[in-house]
Each structure stands twice: as C-alpha cells, then as structure tokens.
Amino acid sequence: MGLRLAARVSVRLVSVRLVSGHDGHRPQTLRVPPRWAPPPTCRSTSSARTTTPASLNPTAFLDAAIDEAELGLAEGGIPIGAVLVHQGKILGRGHNRRVQQGSVVLHGEMDALERAGRQRASVYRECTLYTTLSPCAMCSGTILLYGIPHVVIGENRTFQGEEELLRSRGVNVEVLQDERCIALMTRFIAAQPGLWAEDIGE
Amino acid sequence: MGLRLAARVSVRLVSVRLVSGHDGHRPQTLRVPPRWAPPPTCRSTSSARTTTPASLNPTAFLDAAIDEAELGLAEGGIPIGAVLVHQGKILGRGHNRRVQQGSVVLHGEMDALERAGRQRASVYRECTLYTTLSPCAMCSGTILLYGIPHVVIGENRTFQGEEELLRSRGVNVEVLQDERCIALMTRFIAAQPGLWAEDIGE
C-alpha cells in the first residue's frame, strides 16, 4: 500500500459583491463565499452527468445514486448516494461527505438537494428523490420541509430510517431492496462500524 | 443607498492528501476540500467567540444566537441564528446561509451543527441547541438524528416548526417568546415574503 502525497494550490476569486444594504426586498449580494463555493457552472459532481434524458427509466436513477455512493467510497467516504429528479431530469446528485468534508449535515440526500440549488416549492413538489439507503431523521425532515412527494429507496435492510414518518405525512415511499445497495452498506458497516455509528448519531 | 464593489483574491492550499485506498478501516485522507473548507483553527463565525465561560447564564446563549441572526441579516440573509452548547461552552454557532451561499440545507441550526464539526454521539447527548426560531422539519429531524436532548427556541409566533414531533420523541423543548426574535422575523417576513416562503418550502 503506497502512500501518495498530493499538494495543490489554487488561486481564485473569493468574492465580488454589490452591497446595497439589507433592508430592500432584493439584496444585491452576489457574493461567492470562500468557505463553501459551488462549482461555477454546475452543481453536480460530474458536469457531464448533470441532466438525464426524460426517457431514462427509473432504474437508471437508482443506478445514478449508486454511482454516487461508489464515488463516495472511492474517496474514502461513506457509500450512500442520492439524486433529485424532476420531470425525468436529474436536478442534483450527491453523496455523503462526512469524511471528505468533515460534514455532519451532508448525507447523500442532503448533498443532492444542496447541489440541485435553490428551487421553487412547485419544483420540489414534482420531484422524486432516489437514495441508496433508507433516509435518516435529518434527511426525512428535509424531504418533509420541501414537500418532496416521492422517495425511492435502494434498501432498508442495513438501516431503517424514518419511512413511517414520511408515509404518515403523505409521502409515497418505495423500497427496492436492491442487492447492490445492500452489498455496499453491508461491507462498509463491517469495515468501519465506528464511522457508521457516528453518521447515524449512535 | 450607495453601491460598493469589493473584490478579494485568495491563495490557499486546496489539498494535501495521504492516499492509502478506501478498503482499510481508517482512510488516511487528510484532504481539505476546495469547495467547503472550514476555517483552519475555528469553525465559529467569530474566532473570538468560539467558547463561552461555563458560568455564562442561558440567556447569554440566546443572545449569541440572536447575534448570529443579526449577522445573517447584515449579510443580506435570512435572520435566523443558532448555537450548539455543550457543558456551558459553545461548540458551534451559525446562521441561515440561503442567500449568502445559495444553500438549501444550511438553516441556522444546521450551520451551527456543521461549524461544531464532527462530534461523538455522547457529546450531542449532553448538548442544548439554542435557536432564534422554532425549528423546521429539517432542523428537527437533525436534532433527532444526533439525539440532542434539549432545544431552547427564541420564538414560535412567526413560524411553528416541528416542536410536537420533538416532544413526542423525548426532546425537552422550551420556547422563550423573546421579543427581539419576534421583531427580527416579523420585519423580515414583511420585507421579503417570497424569500421566506422559499426557506420553509412554501
């Protein structure tokens, strides 16, 4: 197992602001924050995969979520991925960032929503969220906040999230028990039980 | 109302990695992500205010959350702030970042948790979260995920979150009806009803 040291230096514009005060109806802040700046042209992990043809069948969206989970694993992270789909197109795709970014809020579902960016309520209400694993209380609460009506879950054998809460609020919840999703999490939990426990607050 | 143009350029180290593969028990990734890098020494908005003396009375923690809300307002954002407190010390403080960072997940409570960084479950279970406004479904779900047992809410007159869900799961929820919190949100909602609706998924 060889160790590799990679160092990279970037020079980038941190902020360009037009400040007009905060009492107006539309703040003119165009600030690009230094701490959490999305890619300038695309919020997806891979710009080539931002959108998906409307004809893509639903299985392909779970495949995209699994791709994200595997990408997270390859980064040394927790292998959970998700995609937010609106009218047959992926608005945002993401994966768990606990290890990679030290994030306690960017579960796969949250990352997908974050990368989809600010959307109108009417858009969320026509969306389906595909996730490789049953959504925890945080992700389920976020689904409720934004009124996402349909959630497709890769599996709930390795972790049972807040599916009943979602159903009790009218969300259509489907669980596919996909063998690839089960295998990803089974191997990960066996390999890194402490990290997994941290991710679910245990 | 004058316009001000501010441009700033930063040079920083984006990543230094020791890569040993992702199949081991402890990934040796020390990566500093370019997209979302916390301050190197402190996750708080203001390093001078990272910790608070253990003797500080609880009102001071709400004051700190209000400071965060006012800071967010001054940035052109939504004036909701929060602090996560453990054994009399603020672990993390934050405010809503929808406008400032285009974030759909960084409500004030989420930002405070994110800036507190990765904590053990045993720490969260001794924490109190102070927030200027009743927590929405997303933030309430996050409180449940991490098992935070005590939430102190500035007010719930302008927005009623998921307090009953929290109480039904054993969380101690206090609502202070603080006049400063009510005034902040009342003015903000009147000035920017569209932005507020977006923030609560309406």
Report the mean per-residue pLDDT for chain A: 80
* Residue whose structure tokens are 């006012």: B70
A12 or A117, which is more confident: A117
CB contact under 8 A, A25 and B201: no
Which residues in chain A are contacts of B11 at CB distance < 8 A? 9-11
Catalytic one of A109, A114, A155, A163: A109
Minimum Cα–Cα distance from A194: chain B residue: B25
Q: How confident is the model at residue A13 (pLDDT cuts 50, 70, 90)?
A: very low
Segment A72-97 shows an average pLDDT of 98
- pLDDT of B109 reads 98
CB contact under 8 A, B3 and A28: yes
Catalytic one of B68, B70, B109, B164: B109
B30 near A19, Cβ under 8 Å?
Answer: no
Looking at the predicted structure, is the pLDDT value of residue A186 above 80? yes
- pLDDT of A11 reads 34
Q: What is the pTM of this model?
A: 0.76
Can you spell out the DSSP letters for chain B? ---EEEEEEEEEEEEEEE---SSSSS-------SSSPPPSS--SSSGGGS---TT--HHHHHHHHHHHHHHHHHTTS---EEEEEETTEEEEEEE--HHHH--SS--HHHHHHHHH-S--HHHHTTEEEEESS---HHHHHHHHHHT--EEEES--SS---SHHHHHHTT-EEEE---HHHHHHHHHHHHH-HHHHHHHTT-
Sequential pLDDT tens for chain B (202 residues): 333 333 333 333 333 333 333 333 333 332 333 333 333 333 334 433 444 444 457 789 999 999 999 999 999 999 999 999 999 999 999 999 999 999 999 999 999 999 999 999 999 999 999 999 999 999 999 999 999 999 999 999 999 999 999 999 999 999 999 999 999 999 999 999 999 999 999 9
Chain A: give the shortest CA distance to residue B52, in Å: 22
CB contact under 8 A, A12 and B9: yes
- pLDDT of B56 reads 57
Residues of B numbered 36-95 whose beta carbons fall under 8 angstroms of chain A's beta carbons: which are they? 36-39, 73-77
Which residues in chain A are contacts of B198 at CB distance < 8 A? 118, 120-121
Looking at the predicted structure, is the pLDDT value of residue A36 above 80? no
Active site residue B174: no
- pLDDT of A56 reads 57
Which residues in chain B are contacts of A17 at CB distance < 8 A? 4-6
Minimum Cα–Cα distance from B21: chain A residue: A76
B189 near B158, Cβ under 8 Å?
Answer: yes
How many A-B residue pairs are in contact by the CB < 8 A criterion? 221
Query: Best residue in A10, A16, A36 to probe B by mutation, most B CBs within 10 Å?
Result: A36
CB contact under 8 A, B105 and A105: yes
Which residues in chain A are contacts of B142 at CB distance < 8 A? 105, 137-138, 141
Which residues in chain A are contacts of B8 at CB distance < 8 A? 13-15
